[in-house]
């Protein structure tokens, strides 16, 4: 029995060969795509993979406010005293060495217990204005001594520079380099904010 060359060729092709008119199987997701899709969560569990936090207060401009971060029993505590002396009036904390892609998210959610005062969530990327980082901010209220979930649309964050709102650039969610919290509600006195976790949705 003779086998014609074309049929012989078909019989010797690997089983995974694509036949004419069939769609190729979908390529596996790349590591970058998987990372972008993975939700971000920070739980303050003294994990070596979580970034450390530092304080930046109005002393950089001559102010007298004090404040800073403290990790204790799985909570981030942001406490201090706000002063309006010497044209001051803000205290803030921010992460160090953060590199995250939030492009798959629409919201940032924080579980916090505050003191009834207003705070700001801040994000930063590689965007600069006059050589300094642009901060993308959104304000949120707290309820004294009560745990609440704060859900902030990422699209609502506005670019600012030293308290002044800018026209741009837009927030690049794929290059988040910093998460911060700030109080600057023009009320002197002690403040206290506890954060249980921060995550994307």
pLDDT digits 0-9 by tens, 91-120: 999 999 899 999 999 999 999 999 999 999
115 in Cβ contact with 192 (< 8 Å) = yes
Locate tokens 């003294």: which residue? Answer: 46
pLDDT at 5 over 50: no
Cα angle 197, 200, 201 (rounded to 5 degrees) comes to 120
Residue 183, both tokens: 């109080």
The rounded mean pLDDT for the chain is 86
pLDDT at 1 over 50: no
User: What pLDDT score was predicted for residue 125?
Assistant: 97
Omega before 169 cis (within 30°)? yes
d(CA 78, CA 192): 6
Fold of 38-200: Jelly Rolls (2.60.120)
Mean pLDDT within 9-30: 42
The least confident of 45-59, 65-79, 123-137 is: 45-59
User: What pLDDT score was predicted for residue 20?
Assistant: 39
The least confident of 18-22, 108-112, 120-124 is: 18-22
User: What pLDDT score was predicted for residue 40?
Assistant: 95
Name the maximum alpha-carbon separation found in the chain. 102
Cα angle 138, 142, 143 (rounded to 5 degrees) comes to 165
User: What pLDDT score was predicted for residue 155?
Assistant: 97
Residue 118, both tokens: 């207003």
- DSSP structure class, residue 97: S
- Report the predicted TM-score, pTM, of the whole model to 2 decimal places: 0.81
| Domain spans, the chain | 38-200
d(CA 7, CA 187): 86
Cα angle 189, 113, 134 (rounded to 5 degrees) comes to 70
pLDDT at 21 over 90: no
At residue 191, the 3 state secondary structure works out as strand
pLDDT at 31 over 60: no
Q: For every residue of 116-151, which 3-state class applies, written as one string?
A: CCEEEEEEEEEEEECCEEEEEEEEEECCECCEEEEE
């Amino acid at each position: 029995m003779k086998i014609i060359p074309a049929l012989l060729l078909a019989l010797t092709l690997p089983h995974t060969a694509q036949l004419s008119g069939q769609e190729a199987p979908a390529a596996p997701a790349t590591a970058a795509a998987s990372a972008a899709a993975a939700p971000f969560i920070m739980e303050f569990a003294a994990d070596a993979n979580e970034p450390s936090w530092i304080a930046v207060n109005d002393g950089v401009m001559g102010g007298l406010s004090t404040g800073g971060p403290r990790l204790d029993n799985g909570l981030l505590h942001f406490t201090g005293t706000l002063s309006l002396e010497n044209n001051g009036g803000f205290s803030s904390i921010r992460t160090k060495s953060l590199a995250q892609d939030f492009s798959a998210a629409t919201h940032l959610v924080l579980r916090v217990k505050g003191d009834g005062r207003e705070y700001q969530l801040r994000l930063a990327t590689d965007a600069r204005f006059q050589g300094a980082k642009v901060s993308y901010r959104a304000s949120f209220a707290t309820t004294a001594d009560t745990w609440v979930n704060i859900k902030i649309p990422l699209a609502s964050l506005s670019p600012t520079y030293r308290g002044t709102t800018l026209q741009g650039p837009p927030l690049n969610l794929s290059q988040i380099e910093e998460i911060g919290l700030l109080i600057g509600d023009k009320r002197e006195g002690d403040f206290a904010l506890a954060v249980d976790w921060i995550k994307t949705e």
